[in-house]
Amino acid sequence: SVHTRDQVDLPPPAIDNRLTVHSLWPEIDRISTEQIQAAFEGVGGDIGWQLFAEEGDMKMYRREVEVDGMVMDPLKAMHKVRGVSAREMCHYFFNPRYRYEWETTLETMTIVEEISSDAMVFHQTFKRIWPASQRDALFWSHVRSSSDYAYAVTNHSTTNVDYPANTGACIRLFVTVCLACRSTYPAGEQPTRDNVTTSIAYCSTVNPGGWAPAGVLRAVYKREYPKFLKRFTNYVVQQCRDKPLAM
Ligand code: 18C
């Protein structure tokens, strides 16, 4: 029926064997481990995270970083969502079947390689922002369970001979993104849609890959990141509404 979601589709609780024999595995494992650890760290301390957007349980921080005049501000967002699990959040973020339904910056998405049930390589082109050139990205994406009731998706730029950079209309951008989620429910109870809460940490660093006006870029960030996180989390809540909770 329309109310079932294939259990086989959900992120696997353990790393898929097909991934561990792939040439990208050492890099995927190292970067995912680093990103997940950093995502679960707080925003206090000396690193200098500045709050730039806040709405309900959602808080967004950034650090202003420029390299050779190019804006590469790291972003860190925290959110809390009730009624869905970390595994479900990561399922909808990782699985390309749903991407056009929540990702509003996309123009095209191509699956370059299906490595395993928990790793893929994507090529994406994004909507053009005037007056800059259109951007594209080529990145691997990996979903894993990081501890009890915690799942994370890491996306990181890579290369592929069939998808060379900067040969057509697009400038290749470079991205490192981590969506790390952890679910909790009251001690002594069974987890249900009514008592589960998922804490989300979303970290993103985008290197625009070529000149883009700093003012335009920071304005796009400010508008697009909150829009993305609200839209994506609402989408997952809607999708899960009538389905059994998958922890
Ligand atoms: O993480 C997200 N999505 C994942 C699945 O798609 C994946 C994607 C990562 C790519 C992020 C880079 C997006 C660049 C988009 C540029 C065009 C935006 C057009 C918008 C206008 C309608 O991990 C969710 C990603 C949420 C993206 C928020 C926007 C970030 C803006 C970064 C600007 C980068 C610069 C380049 C262009 C130059 C512009 C002057």
Mutational test site, ligand 1, from 105, 177, 222, 225, max ligand atoms within 8 Å of CB: 105
Mutational test site, ligand 1, from 171, 206, 216, max ligand atoms within 8 Å of CB: 206
pLDDT in tens, 193-211: 999 999 999 999 999 999 8
Mutational test site, ligand 1, from 220, 221, 227, 229, max ligand atoms within 8 Å of CB: 220
In this predicted structure, which of 36-45, 92-101, 195-204, 223-232 has the lowest mean pLDDT? 36-45
* Average confidence (pLDDT) over 126-149: 96
pLDDT at 1: 40
180 forms beta bridges with 152, 201
77 forms beta bridges with 60, 202
CA of 104 to the centre of ligand 1 (A): 9
Q: Which residue has the higher pLDDT, 44 or 138?
A: 138
Instruction: Name every protein residue with a CB atom under 6 angstroms from any ligand 1 atom.
Output: 99, 103, 105, 124, 126-127, 129, 132, 135, 137, 155, 173, 175, 177, 206, 208, 212, 216-217, 220-221, 224-225, 228
pLDDT at 49: 93
Q: Which atom of ligand 1 is closest in space to residue 132's alpha carbon?
A: 40
Distances (CA, A) of 89 to 9, 21, 73, 207: 13, 27, 25, 26
Spatial separation of the C-alpha atoms in residues 191 and 213, rounded to whole Å: 48
In total, the chain counts a number of residues equal to 247
Q: Which residue has the higher pLDDT, 131 or 75?
A: 75
CA of 60 to the centre of ligand 1 (A): 16
CA of 220 to the centre of ligand 1 (A): 9
Spatial separation of the C-alpha atoms in residues 149 and 145, rounded to whole Å: 8
Question: Which two structure tokens, joined as six digits, stand for 56?
Answer: 């309900």
pLDDT at 64: 93
Question: Which two structure tokens, joined as six digits, stand for 192?
Answer: 């249900």
The pLDDT mean for the chain works out to 95
* Average confidence (pLDDT) over 71-80: 96
| ipTM here | 0.95
Spatial separation of the C-alpha atoms in residues 203 and 177, rounded to whole Å: 6
Q: Which atom of ligand 1 is closest in space to residue 228's alpha carbon?
A: 26
Q: Which residue has the higher pLDDT, 4 or 141?
A: 141
pLDDT at 121: 98
Q: In this model, does residue 238 exceed pLDDT 50?
A: yes
Give percent above pLDDT 90 in the chain.
89
119 forms beta bridges with 116, 142
From atom 31 of ligand 1, which residue's Cα is the shortest distance away?
Answer: 221
Q: Which atom of ligand 1 is closest in space to residue 124's alpha carbon?
A: 6
From atom 21 of ligand 1, which residue's Cα is the shortest distance away?
Answer: 105
Spatial separation of the C-alpha atoms in residues 183 and 197, rounded to whole Å: 6
CA of 105 to the centre of ligand 1 (A): 6
Do 31 and 154 meet the contact criterion of CB atoms below 8 Å apart?
yes
Residue type, 46: D
Spatial separation of the C-alpha atoms in residues 50 and 86, rounded to whole Å: 26
Banded model confidence at residue 153, pLDDT cuts 50, 70, 90: very high
* Average confidence (pLDDT) over 131-139: 96
pLDDT at 2: 47
pTM assigned to the model = 0.96
Spatial separation of the C-alpha atoms in residues 182 and 191, rounded to whole Å: 13
Secondary structure in 3-state letters for 86-148: HHHHHHHHHCHHHHHHHCCCEEEEEEEEEEECCEEEEEEEECCCCCCCCEEEEEEEEEEEEEC
pLDDT at 69: 85
Name the percent of the chain in helix, strand, coil, to the closest 5: 25, 35, 40
